[in-house]
Amino acid sequence: MKLELEAHDLLWGMTVDLADDAPPWVREVVLRGDPVVVRRAITPVDQVAVGVRGQFRHQRYAAQMPRSAINKQLKPEALTRVDTQQFEHLAERLQSISSIMKNFSGCWGYTGSFGFELATGIETVTQQSDIDLLIRAEQPFAKKQAIKLLETFQQAGLNVDIQLQLPQGGLALKEWARNSGKVLLKRPDGAVLVENPWN
């Protein structure tokens, strides 16, 4: 069975078969068995492009992982179903996000430090952390809806960074809401400026 891997999926099973120039913290993270995150890049068919995250914001490392090494995969939307009682320090924010997103009918999930902490229990979220969310947007996302969603989060005092995940790549909701011209679509082969990212 070929796994359907998409940007922001968390993967477990990475081994310490790293490039010689990999910083020591990367080896520590991999040895500990922390998940890595799928990133957008072109790779050989038996590999997947991943990012390793360290304890600090500046600690990010791009690598490749053999598909055969994957022993667990978790999609961002699976993290909306975690037991918030286990994350008391995040519970208030998680409840606010959940109630805002309830009014939004589509498929969504957590990425970034929020997603990582919900998936692993490792404390990575601080008071200053942005709340990274992903919305699956197979069909065009109305600009009016994008503006309303961002305003609702702003009124709730929540600093969100929302990515729209399109079949063709990723698009920042803020950019889509505010821009009347071309927007930046992040694709595996690089970022491109497009007028209609769904076309």
Q: Which of 67, 86, 58 minimizes the C-alpha distance to 5? A: 67
Q: Is-catalytic flag, 132? A: yes
Q: Which of 21, 130, 161, 189 does the annotation list as catalytic? A: 130
Q: Which of 17, 21, 46, 132 does the annotation list as catalytic? A: 132
Query: Is 17 in a helix, a strand, or coil?
Result: coil
What separation in angstroms does the CA of 185 have from each of 72, 162, 194? 28, 14, 7
User: Which contacts (CB < 8 Å, 24+ apart) does range 103-108 have?
Assistant: 103/152, 104/135, 104/145, 104/149, 106/135, 106/136, 106/137, 107/77, 107/135, 107/136, 108/76, 108/77, 108/80, 108/133, 108/134, 108/135, 108/136
Give the number of other Cβ atoms within 10 Å of residue 159's Cβ.
11
Cβ contact 13:73 at 8 Å: no
Q: Is-catalytic flag, 83? A: no
Residues with a catalytic annotation lie at 130, 132
